[in-house]
C-alpha cells in the first residue's frame, strides 16, 4: 500500500501528488478489476459529452421512497462517471431542458402520460421525448418506481454505448414475469458448481452486518431487470427455514427490496420432520399441511414480499412426495396452498430421474410430469432445464416444452459453467440460450418456440418464469472471470426479452464492460459468438454429451464407467463400440424422439434429417458413415476436436491484438485464462481421441497429430480439489 506523509509546503510531496493525480487521470482504467461489472460508467468521448449534458444535465425526479432514492443515486453516479459532472436535481422542469422521471403518482409532470402508460404493466417504462410545459423533455415514466429504475438503467446503457438520444422513443415491458437467479449456495458458504469463490452470503454475520456488496449485487440485477433470487441450494438444508436463518434472509430481502429483487428460498421437502419434529412429510397429512401453512405465515411476517419456494424433490436423493406414494403435484400443491394466501409461488423442478428406472434418463422427466398437466395449483410453475439431460454444451430442447399446455413452465438455464470449462474457459452462453429459446416445439404448429412457451404467450398463461443458476460468488470479478460476467448479463437481458439476439446483447456488454470503440466491440463480439461452438467442438462434438470426469466434472472422462449408477457414467451416454457411437433414441431405440411433437420427432428420428450437431444424441452411427462434409464420422469427430483447439488459438490471437485497447489488468487475466483454456481444449481433444481410438481401433485421419500420451495417462489424472463438486 502506498502511503504519503504530507507536510504543508513540502514541494516534493506536492509534485508526487500531482504525478499521482496525473497518472490516475491518464490511465483511469488501470485500477479495473472487474468489480464494477457493466456498470463502470467510464467517461464518454469528449465529442459526445456536450450533447448528453444538454439532455441530461437537469433532472427532475422524486426522492420520497427507497426506490426513488436509488433512481437518483444511480443517475448521479452514472452521469458523474460518464459525463464528468453530476446532474442538477431540480424541483421542476422550468427553465432548461430536463430529464423528468417518475410515475403519474410521484410526479405531477407525468400525470398526462397516464393513458400511454397503460400498456407497460407493473414493471415496464416509457423512455422518450415529449413536450412538457411547452419545452422538450426526455421522460422516463412508469406505473411503479421499479419501472423508472429499469428505465434509468436503459438510458445509462445507451449513454455507455455512445448512442445518440435524438428521437428516442422506447416502450419496454418485460415478457416474462419471474426473472430469477438460482443460487446453489450452501449455508457453510460453499457453492455447488460454483467457480467464483465462496458464497456471497455471509450467513454468519447476517443479519447484523449487511455487506455493501449485497447492495451492489441488487443493483447489478436491477440493471438487467432480474426481479428475484433464490438464496440457497436446491439440494436444500432445512435449517434455511429455521427462525434464525429466516431473519438472515429477511435482512437480505430488506437490502434487495428497493431494487425490485425479491427473495425466494429452496425448500427441503422433509423440513416438517427435520425442523418441526413431525413423523412424516407426507403432503396429504393434515399436520404436515398445517406445518407448511404456519411456516409460510412466519416467513411472510418477516419478509412481506417473499417470492416463494423452489423445490427439488425425489431427484438425486432429495426427499419428496413419492417417498409417501404421492405425486409431484400432491407435493407441489401442499406448498402452494400454504403460500397462496400471501401471493407466493412454488417453482417445482422437473429435473427428476431415478437410477432404479431402466428407462433412458433423457425420457424420465417427461414421463413423470406430462400426465400431471392440469393437476397443479395456479401458483405452481414447473421449472424445466433447457435440455433433457443436464446443461450440456449442446442438448436438444427439453421435450416438456410444449407438452404441458395447462401448466406454466419455467425455463432453467445454467449460467455457471459446470459442463463448459468452469470459469477459465471463455464461453459466451448467449448463443446457447438463444438456440434454446428459438427452438420450435411445434406444439401448436410451426412457430411454437420455447420462448413462447416460457413467456406464457403460447397458452396464455398469466404466470411465466425463467431462472438461471447463478455464476456469482465472492470473487472480485463476481463470476470467476471477466467474460463470465457476460453470461450473467446475457441471462438477465434474455429473461427480460427472450426474443433479443445474443449478438446484440454481446455488443452492449462489450461496449459497457471494455469499450464502445468499434475496434474493440467488433472483434470481441465475433470471438464471443463463436466461443460456444468452439467449446462444443473440443468437448462434445456432433451431439455427444455427458462425457465429463466423474463427480467434479472437470475435464474429459469419456471412459467413466461403473460406480453407483449407470446414468452417472459416460459410457451410458456415448455407447461407443467397435462399430459405431451414439445413443439410439429413435423409434427403434429408446424412442425418446416420440416425446416431441410429430414434426420434430420425425426430423430427429431420421438420421438423414436430424441436425448434425445432434446426430449422436439421437442416433447410434457407424464410424464409417459419411457425414455432410463428406468425411466419415470418425474423421469428422477428430476434425472437430482439433478445430476446437485451433479456434481457441484464434481467440488468443484476437485477444492479443487488443492489448493496449483493454486495460492491462483485465487484459492480462483474460490472456492467462485463454492459455489455460487452450491447454485444456488440447487435453479434451487428446484424451477423447485416445479413448475413442482405443474403442474403434481406427487410424487417425491424415494430418491429425496423435495424442502425446497413451490413454492410461489421461485416465490417471486426478483432481481431488476441483472446485464446485457436489457435497
- For ligand BDP, the binding residue among 192, 395, 508, 680 (CB under 6 A) is 192
**Nearer residue to ligand BDP within complex by CB, 234 or 273:** 234
**Nearer residue to ligand BDP within complex by CB, 171 or 235:** 235
Q: CB nearest ligand BDP: which residue?
A: 726
Q: Which of 520, 510, 538 is nearest to 647 (CA)?
A: 538
Q: Shortest distance, CB of residue 218 to ligand BDP, whole angstroms?
A: 25
Q: Which 8-state DSSP code applies to residue 418? A: T
Q: Shortest distance, CB of residue 235 to ligand BDP, whole angstroms?
A: 5
Catalytic residue among 145, 192, 412, 418: 418
Q: Shortest distance, CB of residue 531 to ligand BDP, whole angstroms?
A: 21
Q: Shortest distance, CB of residue 698 to ligand BDP, whole angstroms?
A: 33
**Long-range contacts of range 161-165, CB-CB < 8 Å, 24 or more positions apart?**
161/508, 161/511, 161/512, 161/516, 162/44, 162/45, 162/48, 162/511, 162/516, 164/51, 165/51, 165/52, 165/55, 165/56, 165/138
Q: Shortest distance, CB of residue 539 to ligand BDP, whole angstroms?
A: 15
Q: Which of 490, 487, 485, 520 is nearest to 505 (CA)?
A: 490
Q: Shortest distance, CB of residue 271 to ligand BDP, whole angstroms?
A: 17
**Nearer residue to ligand BDP within complex by CB, 412 or 584:** 412
**Nearer residue to ligand BDP within complex by CB, 40 or 552:** 552
Catalytic residue among 305, 316, 323, 474: 316
Beta strands in 458-564 (DSSP E): 465-469
**What part of residues 367-406 is at the interface with ligand BDP (CB under 6 A)?**
390-391
**Nearer residue to ligand BDP within complex by CB, 150 or 554:** 554
Q: Shortest distance, CB of residue 582 to ligand BDP, whole angstroms?
A: 22
316 part of the active site: yes
**Nearer residue to ligand BDP within complex by CB, 209 or 719:** 719
Contacts of 473 (CB under 8 A, 6+ apart): 191, 194, 195, 196, 197, 198, 199, 200, 479, 480
Q: Shortest distance, CB of residue 361 to ligand BDP, whole angstroms?
A: 12
435 part of the active site: no
Q: Read off φ and ψ for residue 60, nearest 5 degrees.
A: -115, 115
The verdict on 508 binding ligand BDP (CB under 6 A) reads no
**Nearer residue to ligand BDP within complex by CB, 412 or 686:** 412
Q: Are 388 and 365 in contact (CB under 8 A)?
A: yes
**What part of residues 543-562 is at the interface with ligand BDP (CB under 6 A)?**
none
**What part of residues 204-263 is at the interface with ligand BDP (CB under 6 A)?**
234-235
- For ligand BDP, the binding residue among 41, 217, 351, 634 (CB under 6 A) is 351
Q: What is the DSSP string of 535-585?
A: HHHHHSGGG----BPTTT--SB-TT---SS-GGGSSHHHH---SSEES---
Q: How many residues does the chain have?
A: 727
Q: What is the DSSP string of 194-240?
A: --SSS-S--TTTTTT---HHHHHHHHHHHHHT--EEE-S-SS--GGG
- For ligand BDP, the binding residue among 177, 193, 248, 640 (CB under 6 A) is 193
Q: Are 129 and 169 in contact (CB under 8 A)?
A: yes
Packing angle between helix 502-513 and helix 485-496, nearest 10 degrees? 130
- For ligand BDP, the binding residue among 360, 418, 440, 508 (CB under 6 A) is 418
Q: Shortest distance, CB of residue 365 to ligand BDP, whole angstroms?
A: 11
Grouping H, G, I as helix, E, B as strand and the rest as coil, residue 441 is: coil
Q: Which three cell numbers stand for residue 449?
A: 418456440
Binding mask 293-332 for ligand BDP (x = CB under 6 A): -------------------x---x----------------
Q: Shortest distance, CB of residue 351 to ligand BDP, whole angstroms?
A: 5
Size of the site for ligand BDP (CB under 6 A): 11
**Nearer residue to ligand BDP within complex by CB, 305 or 725:** 725
Catalytic residue among 145, 172, 192, 390: 390
The verdict on 726 binding ligand BDP (CB under 6 A) reads yes
Angle, CA 298 vertex, CA 260 and CA 333 arms, to 5°: 80
Residue with cell 480439489: 721
Q: Which three cell numbers stand for residue 210?
A: 449487511
Q: Read off φ and ψ for residue 518, nearest 5 degrees.
A: -60, -30
Q: Are 338 and 292 in contact (CB under 8 A)?
A: yes
368 part of the active site: no
Distance, CA of 122 to CA of 152 (rounded, Å) = 16
**Nearer residue to ligand BDP within complex by CB, 70 or 381:** 381
**What part of residues 589-608 is at the interface with ligand BDP (CB under 6 A)?**
none
The verdict on 497 binding ligand BDP (CB under 6 A) reads no
Binding mask 27-66 for ligand BDP (x = CB under 6 A): ----------------------------------------
**Nearer residue to ligand BDP within complex by CB, 241 or 413:** 413
Whether a cis peptide bond, with omega within 30° of 0, leads into 207 is yes
Contacts of 134 (CB under 8 A, 6+ apart): none
Dihedral sign, CA of 194, 526, 635, 600? Answer: positive
Residues with a catalytic annotation lie at 316, 390, 418
Contact footprint for ligand BDP (CB under 6 A): 192-193, 234-235, 312, 316, 351, 390-391, 418, 726
Amino acid at each position: 500500500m502506498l502511503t504519503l506523509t504530507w507536510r504543508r509546503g513540502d514541494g516534493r510531496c506536492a509534485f508526487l501528488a500531482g504525478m499521482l493525480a496525473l497518472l490516475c487521470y491518464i490511465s483511469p482504467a488501470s485500477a479495473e478489476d472487474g468489480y464494477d461489472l457493466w456498470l463502470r460508467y467510464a467517461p464518454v468521448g469528449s465529442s459526445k459529452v456536450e450533447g448528453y449534458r444538454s439532455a441530461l444535465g437537469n433532472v427532475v425526479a422524486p426522492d420520497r421512497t427507497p426506490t426513488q432514492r436509488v433512481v437518483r443515486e444511480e443517475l448521479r453516479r452514472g452521469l458523474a462517471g460518464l459525463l464528468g459532472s453530476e446532474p442538477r436535481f431540480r424541483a421542476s422542469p422550468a427553465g432548461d431542458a430536463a430529464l423528468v422521471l417518475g410515475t403519474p403518482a410521484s410526479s405531477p409532470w407525468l400525470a398526462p402520460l397516464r393513458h400511454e402508460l397503460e400498456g407497460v404493466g407493473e414493471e415496464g417504462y416509457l423512455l422518450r421525448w415529449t413536450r412538457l410545459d411547452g419545452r422538450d423533455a426526455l421522460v422516463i415514466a412508469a406505473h411503479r418506481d421499479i419501472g423508472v429504475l429499469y428505465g434509468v438503467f436503459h438510458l445509462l446503457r445507451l449513454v455507455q454505448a455512445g448512442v445518440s438520444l435524438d428521437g428516442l422513443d422506447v416502450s419496454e415491458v418485460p415478457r416474462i414475469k419471474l426473472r430469477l437467479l438460482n443460487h446453489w449456495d450452501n449455508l457453510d458458504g460453499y457453492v455447488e458448481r460454483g467457480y467464483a469463490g465462496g458464497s456471497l452470503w455471509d450467513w454468519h454475520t447476517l443479519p447484523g452486518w449487511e455487506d455493501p456488496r449485497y447492495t451492489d449485487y441488487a443493483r447489478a440485477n436491477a440493471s438487467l431487470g432480474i426481479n428475484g433470487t433464490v438464496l440457497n441450494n436446491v439440494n436444500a438444508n432445512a435449517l434455511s427455514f429455521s427462525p434464525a436463518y429466516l431473519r438472515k434472509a429477511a435482512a437480505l430481502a430488506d437490502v434487495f427490496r428497493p431494487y425490485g429483487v425479491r427473495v425466494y428460498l429452496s425448500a427441503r421437502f422433509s423440513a416438517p420432520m427435520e425442523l418441526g419434529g413431525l413423523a412424516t412429510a407426507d403432503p396429504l397429512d393434515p399436520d404436515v399441511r398445517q406445518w407448511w401453512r404456519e411456516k409460510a405465515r412466519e416467513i411472510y411476517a418477516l419478509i412481506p414480499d417473499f417470492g416463494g419456494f423452489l423445490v427439488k424433490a425425489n431427484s438425486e436423493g432429495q426427499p419428496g412426495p413419492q417417498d409417501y406414494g404421492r405425486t409431484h403435484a400432491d407435493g407441489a400443491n401442499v406448498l402452494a396452498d400454504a403460500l397462496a394466501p400471501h401471493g407466493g409461488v412454488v417453482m417445482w423442478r422437473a429435473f427428476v430421474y431415478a437410477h432404479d428406472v431402466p428407462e433412458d434418463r433423457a425420457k424420465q422427466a417427461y414421463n413423470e410430469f406430462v400426465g400431471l398437466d392440469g393437476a397443479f395449483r395456479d401458483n405452481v410453475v414447473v421449472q424445466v432445464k433447457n435440455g433433457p439431460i443436464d446443461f450440456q454444451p449442446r442438448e436438444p430442447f427439453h421435450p416438456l416444452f410444449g407438452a404441458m399446455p395447462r401448466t406454466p413452465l419455467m425455463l432453467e438455464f445454467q449460467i455457471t459453467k459446470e459442463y463448459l470449462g468452469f470459469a477459465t474457459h471463455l464461453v459466451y452462453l448467449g448463443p446457447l440460450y438463444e438456440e434454446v429459446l428459438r427452438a420450435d416445439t411445434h406444439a401448436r404448429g410451426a412457430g411454437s418456440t420455447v420462448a413462447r412457451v416460457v413467456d406464457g404467450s403460447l397458452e396464455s398463461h398469466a404466470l411465466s418464469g425463467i431462472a438461471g443458476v447463478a455464476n456469482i460468488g465472492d470473487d472480485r470479478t463476481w463470476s470467476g472471470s471477466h467474460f463470465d460476467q457476460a453470461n450473467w448479463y446475457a441471462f438477465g437481458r434474455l429473461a427480460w426479452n427472450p426474443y433479443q439476439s445474443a449478438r446484440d446483447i454481446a455488443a452492449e456488454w462489450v461496449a459497457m464492460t471494455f469499450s464502445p470503440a468499434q475496434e474493440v466491440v467488433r472483434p470481441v463480439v465475433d470471438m464471443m459468438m463463436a466461443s460456444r461452438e468452439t467449446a462444443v467442438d473440443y468437448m462434445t462434438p456432433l451431439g455427444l454429451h455427458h462425457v465429463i470426469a466423474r463427480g467434479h466434472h472437470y475435464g474429459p472422462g469419456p471412459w467413466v464407467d461403473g460406480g453407483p449408477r449407470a446414468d452417472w457414467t459416460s459410457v451410458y451416454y456415448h455407447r461407443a463400440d467397435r462399430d459405431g457411437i451414439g445413443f439410439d433414441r429413435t423409434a427403434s431405440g429408446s424412442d425418446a424422439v416420440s416425446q416431441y411433437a410429430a414434426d420434430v420427432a420425425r426430423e430427429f428420428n431420421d438420421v438423414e434429417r436430424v441436425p448434425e450437431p445432434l446426430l449422436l444424441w439421437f442416433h447410434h452411427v457407424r464410424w464409417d458413415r459419411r457425414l455432410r462434409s463428406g468425411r466419415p464420422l470418425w474423421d469428422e469427430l477428430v476434425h472437430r476436436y482439433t478445430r476446437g483447439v485451433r479456434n481457441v488459438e484464434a481467440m488468443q490471437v484476437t485477444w492479443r491484438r487488443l492489448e493496449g485497447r483493454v486495460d492491462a489488468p483485465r487484459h492480462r487475466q483474460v490472456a492467462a485464462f485463454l492459455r489455460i483454456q487452450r491447454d485444456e481444449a488440447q487435453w479434451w481433444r487428446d484424451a477423447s481421441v485416445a479413448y475413442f481410438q482405443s474403442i474403434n481401433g481406427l487410424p487417425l485421419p491424415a494430418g491429425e497429430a496423435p495424442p502425446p500420451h497413451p490413454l492410461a495417462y489421461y485416465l490417471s489424472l486426478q483432481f481431488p480439489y476441483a472446485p464446485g463438486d457436489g457435497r
